[in-house]
Amino acid sequence: MSWFSRGTASRREQASKAAAVTAVENEPEAHRSLALPAFFAALARSPKPNVLDLGAALGSNVERLSEFGCKLFIEDLYESKKSAGEGGSLSPQFFTEFLAPPAGTQFDFVLAWDLFDYLSRKELAALGARLRATCRPGALVFALTSIHKTIPAQPIRFRFQGQDQLIYERRSTIERPGPRFAPAELNAALQGFRVDRSFLLRHGIQEYLFVREGA
């Protein structure tokens, strides 16, 4: 219940603190995505797909996804991680409880955004195992990782714009060290998935489309 127990007052305090940060934060930027068209194309081919969004609930993204008639599962991984306590490493049990779709439900598409960068290698492997258990064979996972030494202190908020663009909204100018996952590391962590497409973009973001193997 920790997600729900935050009171209005504390939210106001958080909002005012956040406002102080957002006052100096970068303007949103739009970048072309090379993996997104393939993601949308697969989405368009799927009748009533189950889509898991591991980011925050954003109205404009929900609007875009509504065009595909999907069932959208929104599970904000970063917020859940914060609620669980930032100190230690998250256990596999956390991910089992975090990703618990209704019985018989399997995900066809996963939007992981840049959240892999905010997990330790152990946590990433635990998330990968949970995704493997909850994704249908052939399911696609869209993820972005940074090749820079530092990354924003909080995950970027991404919004769809058209067929092949993403708006990047940085929520803070504060930076933290980035994990700089190599493709081989991601492959090892996400067992049961293989890289379907990978693109290194000019602004230092590597885009991935992983596909769930099997069947």
Partner 1 sequence: MAWKRSDDLPGTHPAEPVPAPPRPNPAPPASPSHEPIRTKGERATIGPSIFIKGDLTGDEDLVIEGRVEGKVDLKGNNVTVGRNGRVRADVFGRVVTIEGEVDGNVFANEQAVLRQSGAIRGNITAPRVVLEDGSRFKGTIDMEPKDRQGSVAAHPGAQPNRIGAETGRAGESPAAAKAG
Q: Is 200 in the site for partner 1 (CB under 8 A)?
A: yes
By CB under 8 A, name the one of 41, 173, 194, 214 that touches partner 1: 194
Q: In the complex, what is the shortest distance from the CB of residue 35 to partner 1, in angstroms, rounded to a whole number? A: 10
Q: Is 16 in the site for partner 1 (CB under 8 A)?
A: no
Rounded distance between C-alpha atoms, residue 197 and residue 211, angstroms: 9
Q: Is 183 in the site for partner 1 (CB under 8 A)?
A: yes
Q: In the complex, what is the shortest distance from the CB of residue 91 to partner 1, in angstroms, rounded to a whole number? A: 20
- Which class for 104: exposed (0-12), middle (13-18), buried (19 or more C-beta within 10 A)? exposed
In this complex, which beta carbon is closest to partner 1, that of residue 72 or of residue 84? 72
By CB under 8 A, name the one of 21, 84, 129, 201 that touches partner 1: 201
**126: part of which helix (H) or strand (E)?**
helix 121-134
Q: Is 25 in the site for partner 1 (CB under 8 A)?
A: no
Q: In the complex, what is the shortest distance from the CB of residue 31 to partner 1, in angstroms, rounded to a whole number? A: 6
Rounded distance between C-alpha atoms, residue 197 and residue 176, angstroms: 27
Interaction residues for partner 1, span 43-82 (CB under 8 A):
57-60, 62-63, 65-76
Q: In the complex, what is the shortest distance from the CB of residue 6 to partner 1, in angstroms, rounded to a whole number? A: 8
Q: Is 188 in the site for partner 1 (CB under 8 A)?
A: no
215, 137 contact by CB (below 8 A)? yes
**Structure-token pair, residue 160:** 């769809």
Rounded distance between C-alpha atoms, residue 35 and residue 191, angstroms: 21
- Strands in 165-169's sheet, in edge-to-edge order, are 29-32, 165-169, 157-161
**Structure-token pair, residue 8:** 């209005």
Q: In the complex, what is the shortest distance from the CB of residue 169 to partner 1, in angstroms, rounded to a whole number? A: 7
Q: Which residues sit opposite 160 in a β-bridge?
A: 166
In this complex, which beta carbon is closest to partner 1, that of residue 59 or of residue 177? 59
Q: In the complex, what is the shortest distance from the CB of residue 152 to partner 1, in angstroms, rounded to a whole number? A: 15
Q: Which residues sit opposite 199 in a β-bridge?
A: 207
Rounded distance between C-alpha atoms, residue 138 and residue 145, angstroms: 22
List of residues contacting partner 1 (CB under 8 A): 3-4, 8, 11, 15, 27-32, 34, 57-60, 62-63, 65-76, 159, 161, 165, 167-169, 183, 187, 194-203
